[in-house]
Amino acid sequence: MFINGEWQDAASGRTFEVTNPATGEVIGTVPDGDGDDARRAVAAAEAALPNWAATSPFERADILMRAWELMRERADELAELMTVEQGKPLRASKAEVAYGADFIRWFAEEGRRLNGEWLPSARRNQRFLSVHTPVGVVAAVTPWNYPMSMLTRKMAPALAAGCTIVLKPAEATPLNAKAIFEVFHDAGVPPGVINMVTALDPVPVGEVFTDDPRIAKLTFTGSTAVGRRLAAAAGASLKRVSVELGGHAPFLVMPDADPVHAAKGAAALKFLNAGQACISPNRIYVHSSAAEPFVETMTERVGRVVAGNGLEDGVGCGPLVNDDAVAKVESQVNDAISKGAAALVGGHRLTDGALGDGHFYAPTLLAGVTPDMVIHSEETFGPVAPVIIYDDVDQIWDLANDTNYGLAAYVYTNDLKTGLQAVERLRFGIIGINDVNPTSASVPFGGMKDSGLGREGGREGLLEYLETKTAGFAI
C-alpha cells in the first residue's frame, strides 16, 4: 500500500496473491488492507490537502506533465505488466497505456485553465466574482478491466483540481495500480497527496470511503449494483458522488448502411478486451435487408479471432477475469441456444492445452437472438456477439432504448438525417455514428439512467472535482 509517500504493509500483516488469468500462476502478493488502513490513508490525504490545494495550477500541471512523460517512457513495461496481470493482448495493453497517459496530459493542460469569472449584478454598486476551489479529499474505486487508464482518468483531474486522493484499486489488478502510483510518485507528487489501499475484501474500505466525514467526494467505476450501494451510503453524508457503471449497448445497422463495413466495425469492437468493456455492443440490431452480408462478414471475422495468452503473437482475445465470468457467459449462451439461437462461431469454453489453465471462452457469434433470451436483456461482459434481425425501422429507437442502461450506443448509416435522429432520440451518454471508438481524453465520458452519474474526461471531468464559490463586492 502507499500511504503518506511510503510503501507500507497492512497493519494486520495480511497479504493476498495476484494471479495471471491466462495461466493461473501467481505473479505477486500485495497487502490485504482493511478499514484501519483506509483511515490511515484518509488521515494522510487530509493532512496533505491544505498545502496541495494552495499550490498554483501551473505547479500542479508541471508535476502532471512529468508523470505523462514518465508513463510514455515506461510504456512497454507497463503494457507487459497489464497483459500479465489483466490478460488483454499486448497490442491492446499498449493502446491503453497511451490512452491513460492522454488523460494525464489533458488534465495537466486543462488545470491551467481553471478560470473564474466576473458576473453582472442588477445593482450599479455591486460586482460578483465566481471561482473554483478543490472539493477536498477524494475516495476512488477503480475496476480491473482497464486497470491503468481508469486510474489516470480519476487521479489526473483530482490532482489538477488541487484535491488529494485515496484509491482502492480492483483486487484483481493491484500491481497495475502500484505501477501507476510509482509514476506519479517519481514525477514529484508530494507525500500524502496520493494514497492507495489494496484489499481482497473491498467492503471495509468502502465503508470508510462512504462514512468518513473527512472524505468530500467518492468516485467509482464498476458494476451498477455496487455503484448503487456506494452512492446510497455516500448520500447519507451528502458527499459528492460520480459513478461510471454498467452498459447494455445497442449496435444499430440501418437499412442504408454498408453491412460489410458495419460488420467489420462490430467485430473489431465486440472482442476488444474479450468483451469486458462497459461500452461493448451487447445487442446488435441488423435490418433484414442487410442481414445476409452482415452475418456472413461477421462469421468470417469472428472465426479469425484467436483466443489465448495476450503475450503471444496473433492473439486477439485474451482470458476473462476469473471463472465466475466464464460461467456467466456460458450460462447466457446456453440459455440462448436452448431457446432457439444458433452459435455460428464458438459457443463454448476453451480448455484445450494451455488454455485449460486460464479463464477462456471462445469468441462467439449468436444468430436468431430474441427478446426472451437472457443475453437480450442483461450485460454479458464477455466475447459474445448476439445478432437480432429487425424489419420495422420506426421501432428501432424504442428497441434500442428498451433498457435501464444508458452508456453507449452505435449506429451505422449513410444518411445524415438518420445520424442526427440517432443523437437526438437515443438515451445514451456516448453515441458512435459509423464510429466504434467515440472516446478521447478531451471529451466527456459517462452515461445516464443505471449507467451512472457524472462525467469523466473533457472539461466536465475536471469540474467533477471542484466546488464553486461566489463573492459579492459592494463598491
Q: Which residues are catalytic?
A: 244, 278
Q: Are 17 and 29 in contact (CB under 8 A)?
A: yes
Q: Are 64 and 194 in contact (CB under 8 A)?
A: no
- At 311, the amino acid letter reads L
How many residues appear in the chain? 475
What span, in angstroms and rounded, lies between the C-alpha atoms of 197 and 174? 9
Q: How many CA atoms lie within 13 A of 442 on its CB side?
A: 1
Furthest-apart CA atoms within the chain: distance in Å: 81
- Find the DSSP H helices in 55-89: 57-73, 75-86
The 10 Å Cβ neighbour count of residue 29 is 12
Q: What is the 3-state secondary structure (H, E, C) of 131-185?
A: EEEECCEEEEECCCCCCCHHHHHHHHHHHHHCCEEEEECCCCCHHHHHHHHHHHH
- 3-class DSSP state of 396: helix
Nearest to 409 by CA among 231, 269, 243: 269
What span, in angstroms and rounded, lies between the C-alpha atoms of 188 and 250? 43
